[in-house]
Chains A and B, each alone.
Chain A
């Protein structure tokens, strides 16, 4: 099993729709989880951290399921500007080793 795994997509979603994608991780000792957003040919930017209790930031909701070892990102009322690649990032807890998923490509259609 890969350390961090994401569905590469692409997810083609009409504007205004709700979309969700998951990321699974293999190491149950992983301590910190994040979603990054990367636009084409740009560097990744932190979108949000994922807390155990789940957290929400505007249209974005992140959740952690430790039992099943996955995190999720939900985007409501999607905008054209949400089109990007969303990277799942896991801090493995060993020497703060960070593992990036391969990313999920999201295309919001007008």
Chain B
């Protein structure tokens, strides 16, 4: 099956710093990539949807200036959490899809802890 990788798998950073998370589709071209956030014992929450070469579409309540998404190629999308705060600590998961958005392949997730 399709493989999606994320890097780093976990990161600890100080409040006020920025963190970049990479999401790569390893064996297929991802037309669309999705970024999710999951707080403990809660469901996945879609943050944004990005298509290669286009600006990301953010869900209501997600600050686009704080969560910068770049989808420069069909195999790579990045999420940068700018000026991170402790409340940004969460599990960030990306997923990628080809022609059909509902066939999403998830990355292993990145656990972000902001101290």
Binding site for B on A (CB under 8 A): 32, 34, 41-46, 87, 89, 91, 96, 98, 100-103
A45, B102: Cβ atoms closer than 8 Å = no
Contacts of B108 in A (CB 8 A): 42-43
* Segment at the A interface, from B13-21, B38-46, B63-71, B81-89: B38-46
What separation, in Å, do the CA atoms of A98 and B43 have in the docked complex?
13
Does B101 reach chain A (CB closer than 8 Å)?
Answer: yes
Contacts of B100 in A (CB 8 A): 96
Count of chain B residues with a beta carbon within 8 Å of a chain A beta carbon: 18
Decide if B106 touches A44 in the complex (CB within 8 Å): yes
Contacts of B91 in A (CB 8 A): 41
Which chain B positions have C-beta within 8 A of A103?
Answer: 43
Residue with the highest number of chain B CB atoms closer than 10 Å, among A34, A91, A98, A103: A98
Cα A32 to Cα B103 in complex, Å, equals: 10
Cβ A91 vs Cβ B43 within 8 A: no
| Residue pair A100, B102 in contact (C-beta under 8 Å) | no
Measured in the bound complex, the distance between the Cα atoms of B110 and A52 in whole Å is 35
Complex interface: chain B residues within 8 A of A32 (CB) = 102
Contacting pair A91 B102 (CB below 8 A): yes
Chain A residue, CB-CB nearest to B94: A43
A96 engages B109 (CB within 8 Å)? no
Could you tell me if B106 and A87 are in contact, using CB atoms closer than 8 angstroms?
no
